[in-house]
A and B are shown apart, each in its own frame.
Chain A
Amino acid sequence: MSPRLLAPLGSGGCSFEGEEYQADEMGTVDVPDEAVATLSAHGFTGYTDPVVVPDEAVGEYTIKHAGRGKYKVFKGDEEVASGLTKPDAEAEAAALQSATPAPPAQDAPEAPEPATPETPAQEATPQG
């Protein structure tokens, strides 16, 4: 598999040993192994596909990876905190969640009547 390099911003690509390699719309270019060292002098750097970090829900809040190790906290589509490390984002989401008022009572289902015991209480057995 050919190494994939990231071209400098706005570059149309590169040429190595007479062969031209155009950058794609993401600014990446696949080149031969032996071209990597040479093209580093032209500002081309190693490229790896970004790692997808799954979102994490904390109650009504969602923690999303924003890249480069930084996280944001969302409530729905609204961004409520950013530039946090993951532990800080989790703590922030938890704090926001705990500060969120409980839902109104009328929305809650009625509590069931206490059940009548069908069997008599067991008599106490004296010890010893």
Chain B
Amino acid sequence: METTNDTLRLVAEAQKAPLGDDVLRNFASPANATTGLMGYDLEAPSKKLYPVLTPLRNRIARRADGYAIQSNWRAVTGINTGSMRLGVSAGNRGGVVAQTTADYLAKFVGCGLENNVTFEADYASKNFEDVKALAVTQLLQSCMIGEEFLDLGGNGTVAIGQTATPALADVATGGTLAAATAYKVGCVALTLSGYQQLVAANNGSVNNSPSFVTGLTQVISRTNADATTDNINGGTAIISAVASQTTASDGNPTHCISATVTPLAGAVAYAWYWGVTGASTMYLGAVTTINSILITAAASSANQNYGALTASQDNSNCALEYDGLLTQIMKSGSGAYFVDLATGTAGTGTKLTSDGAGGIDALNTAFASFWDNYRLSPDEIYVGAQVLLDMNALIIANGGAPLIRYNLDAGGGSIDAGTVIGTVLNKITNTKVKVLVHPNMPKGSIMFFSNSIPYPLNDVGSILLKHLRRDYYQIEWPLRTRKYEYGVYFDGVLKNYFPPAFGLIRNIAPGH
């Protein structure tokens, strides 16, 4: 057959024109993931992307033989307390020694959480994940995270009182506050639970989202799984009286207000409110882990106002919790080492300082106190990330030898830079004290921790004991609706046989 020019022309024209829908019947890629002729490539099961960090809980011994409503113990706290001399006269007997004893108790509390899975959620998850198992697993993890928090910062017994009235001063430059204006400032001391709630602690989630708009919650009214209600104190001290400071009449809108409060035992942070008229126009502007602040600008009026807080209400402790280590340390009469770094310059505070010999002055002072008073050394130091970095910088920068290793191979060179301290040396006892970062440790604090009591025949198996009436258990409740309901609980208390083996340094400013 011979191809004519007309045939070629017709073919070319046909190729230029698209085919009509009635002609096009091939398979195209689906426009989105849930339409078209294809499967749904969903990896099963779901990924669990949240931290579950429980270092204290993991190391504290547990014993589930408790009963009654509280655990009681007695201790001998001193022998020959009068320092009776040993010499005896011929044929006579020696002097009689005295000893001191003390009684202790700790009330058991119940702890637990609930979750549920609807029948439909169970049906829907078929071939993807066992959501009933997941619900219980995550309940257990949530309880462990909560237990870790209580082990560190639970406060069942210590009402910490009223936040001191802030001391204020006008600062002429450095800010944007107006001249000749009376600024009002209020402060609320926070326990660890109050602080964590405000800054949105993220052990159990990723990221955090502190909300100054929501602000502090003095009492959390919780509706339980059985529709009952519990009121949980939010970890806030009694709010301070409002202080006032008028800026100088110099016409310059460059003023700041420096504010300090006397540190309150039991607190780890301070929430600051300020404004120009009164409580209802004083807004939450900052939370600090030192006892001072430099206020440089007006707080957002979208934030919680001071008038929203109930005065004269101490919500620092909660009878539904047991005392954690921080509370035990800060409790009056505990004998634990408890020191605040000096206020320093308002808004700046006092930083850790190097001792010039590979150590930290504040740690040396603490180690000396442990030795002088109790003849012991703590085994571990728990800190937050910022304090760890500052300690590291101070120790490493201490005129030490170069700490950069240069690796060179045929392919070129690389530098492995940086180092981190794993222990610090107690120069008094010549023992190494581990430095550990803790997920719930507030900024600006260092906690000293001991694993054992270095005294002979002390009859203390473990210096800390989670004494339980019942250890972790799961309940699958009888069906009452078309939901599978679960609870995970334990019931106990954290016993500390020797608080003087623990300690806390607060009020540490960031930096080095």
Q: Please tell me which one of the listed residues A12, A16, A43 contacts residue B167 in the complex, with CB atoms under 8 A apart.
A: A16
Known: A14-B167, A15-B169, A41-B346; 19 extra A-B contacts, CB below 8 A, are A7-B170, A9-B172, A10-B172, A10-B248, A11-B171, A11-B248, A12-B248, A12-B255, A13-B170, A14-B168, A14-B169, A15-B166, A15-B245, A18-B243, A41-B258, A41-B292, A42-B346, A43-B171, A43-B346
In the bound complex, what is the Cα–Cα distance between A12 and B252 (angstroms)?
12
Main secondary structure of the interface of A (DSSP, over half): loop
Pairwise interchain contact A12-B246, C-beta atoms closer than 8 A? yes
Is A58 at the interface (CB under 8 A from chain B)?
A: no
18 intermolecular pairs with C-beta atoms under 8 Å apart: A8-B172, A9-B172, A11-B171, A12-B249, A12-B255, A13-B170, A15-B245, A18-B242, A22-B246, A38-B343, A39-B167, A41-B344, A41-B346, A42-B168, A42-B260, A42-B346, A43-B258, A43-B345
**What 0/1 readout, one digit per residue, does chain A (30-50) give for beta carbons within 8 Å of chain B?**
000001001101111000000
Q: How far is the CB of A93 from chain B (nearest CB, A)?
A: 40
In the bound complex, what is the Cα–Cα distance between A114 and B172 (angstroms)?
77
- Please name the residue on chain A nearest to B181 by beta carbon: A12
Given A8-B171, A11-B171, does the pair A20, B245 have CB atoms closer than 8 Å? Answer: yes
**What 0/1 readout, one digit per residue, does chain A (1-29) give for beta carbons within 8 Å of chain B?**
00000011111111111101011000000
Is B196 at the interface (CB under 8 A from chain A)?
A: no
Q: How far is the CB of B261 from chain A (nearest CB, A)?
A: 9
B344: chain A residues within 8 A (beta carbon): 41
Pairwise interchain contact B343-A15, C-beta atoms closer than 8 A? no
**What 0/1 readout, one digit per residue, does chain B (26-66) give for beta carbons within 8 Å of chain A?**
00000000000000000000000000000000000000000
A18: chain B residues within 8 A (beta carbon): 165, 241-244
- Please name the residue on chain B nearest to A13 by beta carbon: B170
Taking Cβ atoms with an 8 Å cutoff, the residues of A that contact B are: 7-18, 20, 22-23, 35, 38-39, 41-44
In the bound complex, what is the Cα–Cα distance between A10 and B244 (angstroms)?
18
**What 0/1 readout, one digit per residue, does chain B (159-192) give for beta carbons within 8 Å of chain A?**
0000001111111110000000000000000000
- Please name the residue on chain B nearest to A12 by beta carbon: B248
B317: chain A residues within 8 A (beta carbon): none
Pairwise interchain contact B245-A38, C-beta atoms closer than 8 A? no
- Please name the residue on chain A nearest to B243 by beta carbon: A15
Pairwise interchain contact A35-B167, C-beta atoms closer than 8 A? yes
Ranked 6 nearest A-B pairs via Cβ: A10-B172, A12-B248, A42-B169, A12-B170, A15-B168, A14-B169
Given A41-B343, A42-B346, does the pair A10, B250 have CB atoms closer than 8 Å? Answer: yes
Interface size class of chain B, counting residues whose CB lies under 8 Å from the partner chain: 20 to 34
**What 0/1 readout, one digit per residue, does chain B (246-270) give for beta carbons within 8 Å of chain A?**
1111100001001010100000000
Q: How far is the CB of B251 from chain A (nearest CB, A)?
A: 11
B173: chain A residues within 8 A (beta carbon): 10
Q: How far is the CB of A23 from chain B (nearest CB, A)?
A: 7
In the bound complex, what is the Cα–Cα distance between A11 and B170 (angstroms)?
5
In the bound complex, what is the Cα–Cα distance between A39 and B245 (angstroms)?
13
Pairwise interchain contact A17-B260, C-beta atoms closer than 8 A? no
Q: How far is the CB of A29 from chain B (nearest CB, A)?
A: 9
A23: chain B residues within 8 A (beta carbon): 170, 248
B165: chain A residues within 8 A (beta carbon): 17-18
Pairwise interchain contact B345-A15, C-beta atoms closer than 8 A? no
Q: Which of B195-246 contact A (CB under 8 A)?
A: 241-246
Q: How far is the CB of A27 from chain B (nearest CB, A)?
A: 10
A44: chain B residues within 8 A (beta carbon): 169
Pairwise interchain contact A15-B250, C-beta atoms closer than 8 A? no
In the bound complex, what is the Cα–Cα distance between A8 and B166 (angstroms)?
19
In the bound complex, what is the Cα–Cα distance between A16 and B245 (angstroms)?
9
Q: How far is the CB of A7 from chain B (nearest CB, A)?
A: 7
A20: chain B residues within 8 A (beta carbon): 244-246
B346: chain A residues within 8 A (beta carbon): 41-43
Residue picked from B165, B170, B250, most chain A C-beta under 10 Å: B170
B250: chain A residues within 8 A (beta carbon): 10
B255: chain A residues within 8 A (beta carbon): 12
Pairwise interchain contact B260-A14, C-beta atoms closer than 8 A? no
Q: How far is the CB of A59 from chain B (nearest CB, A)?
A: 46
Residue picked from B168, B242, B292, most chain A C-beta under 10 Å: B168
Q: Please tell me which one of the listed residues B167, B169, B244, B245 contacts residue A8 in the complex, with CB atoms under 8 A apart.
A: B169
- Please name the residue on chain A nearest to B252 by beta carbon: A10
- Please name the residue on chain A nearest to B262 by beta carbon: A38
- Please name the residue on chain A nearest to B342 by beta carbon: A41
A35: chain B residues within 8 A (beta carbon): 167
In the bound complex, what is the Cα–Cα distance between A8 and B258 (angstroms)?
12
Q: How far is the CB of A17 from chain B (nearest CB, A)?
A: 5
Q: How far is the CB of A19 from chain B (nearest CB, A)?
A: 9
Q: Please tell me which one of the listed residues B169, B244, B249 contacts residue A7 in the complex, with CB atoms under 8 A apart.
A: B169
In the bound complex, what is the Cα–Cα distance between A70 and B248 (angstroms)?
32
Pairwise interchain contact B243-A39, C-beta atoms closer than 8 A? no
In the bound complex, what is the Cα–Cα distance between A10 and B168 (angstroms)?
15
In the bound complex, what is the Cα–Cα distance between A9 and B258 (angstroms)?
14
A22: chain B residues within 8 A (beta carbon): 246
Q: How far is the CB of B2 from chain A (nearest CB, A)?
A: 104
- Please name the residue on chain B nearest to A27 by beta carbon: B248
B166: chain A residues within 8 A (beta carbon): 15
Pairwise interchain contact A17-B167, C-beta atoms closer than 8 A? yes
- Please name the residue on chain B nearest to A20 by beta carbon: B244
- Please name the residue on chain A nearest to B248 by beta carbon: A12
